[in-house]
Amino acid sequence: MYLKEQVLGKGLKPMQLCLTYDDGPGATHGSASGPRTLELAEYLRDQGIVATFFVLGKHVDQHADVLKGVHAAGHLIGNHTYDHCDLQKRRRATLPLLEEISRADEAIRKAICCSTRYFRPPGGAWDDEVAKALCAEEDQARTNGASGRQHIGAVGWDVEIPGGDYGYWKDGKTPEECARAFLDAIEERPEKSRGAIVLMHDSNNEDDLRPKNRTYEMTQKLVPLLGAAGYEFVPLNEIPEVKRRLAAIA
């Protein structure tokens, strides 16, 4: 169910937050920094938080065991394409779009023995033309006998810090500085009358940024700050619009 309008935090109560992480899964061994997706997932589980991890198929192929652990920890898994491609640029180049999503779905299904209903386009590159092209490709695939998986897409976000969390790691800033920036961005939103989907990155698509990722430590700083400020955490599938779309494709 690809629609022009992206799913946002509309419908959530004012102090409700949905935490989402992109570009994983990632794993680092024997280093103080770098992607630590499984530890992040386990920390969030221990805090009673169900997050959504929008994963890249190419990273799932490399770290299937990590994705299994994230799924076992009770988190939701979302599709973020296979190669982190810009779907708007791909459509303008008249290249097929569905292949990127289907390949990621296959990697996810192979790793955790089930697929996902949730889809987020890399970079938020989404518009009506992309949605129409994907729907047309799915219709053609079904005509050719393929059994497609309907997704809820695109899932967007309401909160991202300037430059992104990856920008903080690129500049060598601390997890404490990044956590404070997220808290400020959440507190200073003009749409304070509703909750929000928060965008973070448990890994990175760029090879040079991946070893600098410190989102695990940042989340350990951010969650207590948000809790002390009175925020509560809700999973993506509790957002009213997501629940409505899930019921429509059940």
The DSSP line for the chain is -EEEEEE-STTS-TTEEEEEEEEE----SS-SSS--HHHHHHHHHHTT---EEEE-HHHHHH-HHHHHHHHHTT-EEEE--SS---HHHHHHTT--SHHHHHHHHHHHHHHHSS--SEE--GGG---HHHHHHHHHHHHHHHHTT------BEEE--SB--TTHHHHHHHTT--HHHHHHHHHHHHHT-TTTTS-EEEEEESS-SSTTTGGG--HHHHHHHHHHHHHHTT-EE--GGGSHHHHHHHHHT-
φ, ψ at 103 (rounded to 5°): -65, -40
Please report the pLDDT score of residue 122 as a whole number. Answer: 97
Q: Which of 77-86, 105-114, 186-195, 223-232 has the lowest mean pLDDT?
A: 186-195
Q: Are 205 and 24 in contact (CB under 8 A)?
A: no
Dihedral sign, Cα of residue 35, residue 149, residue 114, residue 243: positive
Q: What is the average pLDDT across 100-128?
A: 95
Q: What's the pLDDT tens digit per position in 85-108?
A: 999 999 999 999 999 999 999 999
Rounded-to-integer distance, Cα 98 and Cα 204, Å: 22
Please report the pLDDT score of residue 33 as a whole number. Answer: 80
Domain containing residue 46: CATH number: 3.20.20.370
139: left (phi over 0), alpha (psi -120 to 50) or beta: alpha
Q: What is the average pLDDT across 213-238?
A: 97
Domain of 220 in residue numbering reads as: 2-248
Kindly indicate the confidence band of residue 72, based on its pLDDT and cuts at 50, 70 and 90: very high
Rounded-to-integer distance, Cα 195 and Cα 16, Å: 5
Q: What is the average pLDDT across 6-23?
A: 96
Q: What's the pLDDT tens digit per position in 163-194?
A: 999 999 999 999 999 999 999 999 999 888 89
The count of domains in the chain is 1
The encoded tokens of residue 100 equal 């990127």
Q: What's the pLDDT tens digit per position in 190-204?
A: 888 899 999 999 999
